[in-house]
């Protein structure tokens, strides 16, 4: 069985269901570069393993799926390294989206920033009643960098996506369900069993057909990466702004940010 520093990788050989658990509880499972790389490695390992038939992605603990990015790590980036970080994150998350093995996000708490982006990269999302979703990057003088501007728009529509992206507001699980961001909302204690039941139902169907359906649905959207590249470039440019420096400094100093629009 594979071992990782920031993930738990557990395959039920009887069902073919792989559970990948983001395991940085002290950081509310926040994404850093190492964790994103491990997500990529774990996904590739799963895709290459014929025993893996479906993937459930969740977070450790009862508070957070992924509470966001590691802000202290982001604070060290510039426009060039920021764009590269976005591209690496997009690559890892696109592997999940383009997997022909079904991927369900079991969202067990906060799914903010990169956490919301990670959940949206999965084929389906099931949320616990305490889950919260949001893209709060504008509070740091940033924008989403791992596909958030693209996938949120696909899932909830342009108007609502812009509202959530521009305000940085968090929404509760029931609102996420109403908007079509999540497929189901269940009590926290029932989250993983429900996801396993849903996955078992999917895995009872013809695997080739399941994979082809995923390919066809993904083909509905523009896959030429123009939108994603624009996002990556803009993400990189935002690191050169004074507002980014102020936003991250204020966050780390636990004080309100004073933005100047520069």
Which residue bears the tokens 């790389």?
Answer: 37
Greatest pairwise CA separation for the chain in angstroms: 57
Give the tokens for residue 223: 């896959």
Catalytic residue among 38, 87, 97, 117: 117
Which residues does residue 17 pair with via DSSP β-bridges, in sequence order?
Answer: 12, 54
Catalytic residue among 137, 175, 224, 231: 137
Three-state SS for the chain is CCCCCCEEEEEECCCCEEEEEECCHHHCCCECHHHHHHHHHHHHHHHHCCCCCEEEEEECCCCEEECCECHHHHCCCCHHHHHHHHHHHHHHHHHHHCCCCCEEEEECCEEECHHHHHHHHCCEEEEECCCEEECCHHHHCCCCCCCHHHHHHHHHCHHHHHHHHHHCCEEEHHHHHHHCCCCEEECHHHHHHHHHHHHHHHHCCCHHHHHHHHHHHHHCCCCCCHHHHHHHHHHHHHCCCHHHHHHHHHHHHCCCCCCCCC
User: Is 117 labeled as catalytic in the residue annotation?
Assistant: yes
Integer Cα distance of 71 and 258 in angstroms: 17
User: Is 37 labeled as catalytic in the residue annotation?
Assistant: no
- Catalytic residue numbers read 117, 137
């Amino acid at each position: 069985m594979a071992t990782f520093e920031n993930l738990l990788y557990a395959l039920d050989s009887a069902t073919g269901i792989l559970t990948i658990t983001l395991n940085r509880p002290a950081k509310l499972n926040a994404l850093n570069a190492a964790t994103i790389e491990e997500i990529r490695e774990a996904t590739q390992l799963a895709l290459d393993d014929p025993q893996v038939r479906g993937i459930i992605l969740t977070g450790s603990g009862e508070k957070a799926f992924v509470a966001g990015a590691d802000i202290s790590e982001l604070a060290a980036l510039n426009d060039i390294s920021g764009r590269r970080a976005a591209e690496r994150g997009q690559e890892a998350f696109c592997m999940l989206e383009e997997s022909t093995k079904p991927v369900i996000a079991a969202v067990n708490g906060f799914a903010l920033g990169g956490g919301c982006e990670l959940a949206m990269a999965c084929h389906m999302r099931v949320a616990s009643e305490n889950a919260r979703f949001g893209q709060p990057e504008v509070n740091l003088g940033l924008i989403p960098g791992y596909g958030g501007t693209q996938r949120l728009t696909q899932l909830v529509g342009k108007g609502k996506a812009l509202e959530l992206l521009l305000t940085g507001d968090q929404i509760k699980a029931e609102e996420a369900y109403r908007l079509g961001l999540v497929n189901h909302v269940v009590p926290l204690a029932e989250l993983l069993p429900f996801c396993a039941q849903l996955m078992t139902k999917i895995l009872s169907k013809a695997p080739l057909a399941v994979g082809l359906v995923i390919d066809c649905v993904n083909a509905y959207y523009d896959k030429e990466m123009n939108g994603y590249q624009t996002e990556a470039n803009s993400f990189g440019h935002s690191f050169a702004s004074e507002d980014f420096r102020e936003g991250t400094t204020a966050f780390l100093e636990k004080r309100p940010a004073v933005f100047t629009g520069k």
